[in-house]
Amino acid sequence: MFVLCGLGNPGSRYCLTRHNAGFMVLDRIALRSGRRFRRGLSQGKTCLVDLDGQELLLVKPTTFMNRSGRAVRELLERFPVQLSDLLIVYDEVALPLGKIRLRSSGSAGGHKGMKSILEILNSRDISRLRIGVAGEEDPIDLADYVLSNFHRQEMVALDEVLDRAIEAIEDYFRDGTEKTMARFN
């Protein structure tokens, strides 16, 4: 079984914010599969889907972004999943809206949700798919920016990048990191 963990903040207040791009990808996969998230972990919601012939467990932490590592640790303690079978998907303010980047390891790059995961798992060797959420203007306050909703004129690009992210996820779990990076980065 493969695991896809999307990062975001729980609650309707945050559902359309830039910081919830990871949740948006997982919600779209679940919707296309005709499945719903349920309370599968004390610190997260889960949904089991079939993605391109692969059994895939979708996980949405309910711990708020900065504590995402707690939910991922619980997930790995409960399910026999290797780190190599885990992919984290989250927002990236250093990438323009519409771009995605896949990496097999690295730092958190300032993303507090990913930082929490890397610290708790004590590893930088965790694959991640970053979804660009940067608009045309540089934000004055980064925290306010990532917690702001996408603008109406950005919704077409958001829709396209969510679909592209799902294609990359399918390729990642089928073909691995290198081939997927060559196609999507």
pLDDT tens-digit readout, 123-152: 999 999 999 999 877 777 888 999 999 999
Q: What is the per-residue pLDDT across 2-49, written as a single tens digit (0 to 9) for each?
A: 999 999 999 999 999 999 999 999 999 999 999 999 998 999 999 999
57-66 core/surface letters (b: 16 or more CB in 10 A; e: else): bbbbbbbbbe
> Helix, strand, or coil here: 28?
helix
- Domains identified in the chain and CATH numbers: 2-184 (3.40.50.1470)
111 as an active site residue: the answer is no
Choosing from 9, 18, 19, 127, which is the catalytic residue?
Answer: 19
Looking at the whole model, is its pTM more than 0.85?
Answer: yes
Residues 6+ apart with CB under 8 A from 76: 83, 86, 121
